């Protein structure tokens, strides 16, 4: 992922008046898109729902050894009816994206960006009840999986998953008990 802001967003940052926003996308079966403003905002071909304030975003960066760190985002001021919808969905391991952008002076349309700031997978979701909900979403970088061993099996299903149409292992299960005479003169 590029570490620069891009030309349009860089121009907005140096203006006397900057109207930044963050946006969060959870790639669930029923995707959730929220941004740090009021009302709806359209960009990227989607409508993003305003939460008024995103709450907090933990530090985004890397450890001293270059290992990617996770990110934690708290969405606050959410309607309590949203809780049931989120808890019914299978969120673990689903895509999580954090964007940054800038609005025009009227706070109505996107002037620059949005720039993908961080991308990973949802690890956990914690809900604090009250008059309004505060939802804390913790996500981990996909780089975290680099240390995990890749398990590959010599099966027909695994081969077809990796190479659709390949039939190399199609008869493997039938050959398990077959006696093969080898090197007999």
- In a domain, residue 2? The reply is no
Query: How open is the CA angle 92-77-49, to the nearest 5 degrees?
Result: 70
Same domain, 100 and 160: no
Same domain, 171 and 123: no
Same domain, 36 and 107: yes
Same domain, 159 and 145: no
Same domain, 117 and 156: no
- In a domain, residue 96? The reply is yes
Q: Which pLDDT tens digit goes with each residue over 26-68?
A: 898 888 888 888 888 888 889 988 877 657 777 776 666 666 6
HSE value, Cβ hemisphere, 13 Å, CA-based, for 61? 5
Residues of the chain with pLDDT > 70, as a percent, come to 85
- In a domain, residue 135? The reply is yes
Same domain, 22 and 88: yes
Q: Which pLDDT tens digit goes with each residue over 75-94?
A: 777 777 777 777 787 888 89
Residue 135 pLDDT? 84
Same domain, 86 and 35: yes
* H or E stretch covering 10: helix 7-13
pLDDT band at 166 (very low <50, low <70, confident <90, very high): very high
Same domain, 92 and 124: yes
Across the beta sheet with 56-57, the strand order is 40-43, 46-50, 32-35, 20-27, 95-103, 110-128, 133-141, 71-78, 56-57
- In a domain, residue 81? The reply is yes
Same domain, 176 and 136: no
Same domain, 108 and 164: no
Same domain, 164 and 76: no
- In a domain, residue 66? The reply is yes
- In a domain, residue 15? The reply is yes
Same domain, 142 and 172: no
Structure-token pair, residue 82: 């949203």
- In a domain, residue 1? The reply is no
Residue 121's domain comprises: 7-149
| Average pLDDT score over residue span 170-182 | 85
> What whole-number distance in Å separates Cα of residue 97 and Cα of residue 109?
20
- In a domain, residue 31? The reply is yes
Query: Looking at the 3D structure of the chain, how many domains does it have?
Result: 2
């Amino acid at each position: 992922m590029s570490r620069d802001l891009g030309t349009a967003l860089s121009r907005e940052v140096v203006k006397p008046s900057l109207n930044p926003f963050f946006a969060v996308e959870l790639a669930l079966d029923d995707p959730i898109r929220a941004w740090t403003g009021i009302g709806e905002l359209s960009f990227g071909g989607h409508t993003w729902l305003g939460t008024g304030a995103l709450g907090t975003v933990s530090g985004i960066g890397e450890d001293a050894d270059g290992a990617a760190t996770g990110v934690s985002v708290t969405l606050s001021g959410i309607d309590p009816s949203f809780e049931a919808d989120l808890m019914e969905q299978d969120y673990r391991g689903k895509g999580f994206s954090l964007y940054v952008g800038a609005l025009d002076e009227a706070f109505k349309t996107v002037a620059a960006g949005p720039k993908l700031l961080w991308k990973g997978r949802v690890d956990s979701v914690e809900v604090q009840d009250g008059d309004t909900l505060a939802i804390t979403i913790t996500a981990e970088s996909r780089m975290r999986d680099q240390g995990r061993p890749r398990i590959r099996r010599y099966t027909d299903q695994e081969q077809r998953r990796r190479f659709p149409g390949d039939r190399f292992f199609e008869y493997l299960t039938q050959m398990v008990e077959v006696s093969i005479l080898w090197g007999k003169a």
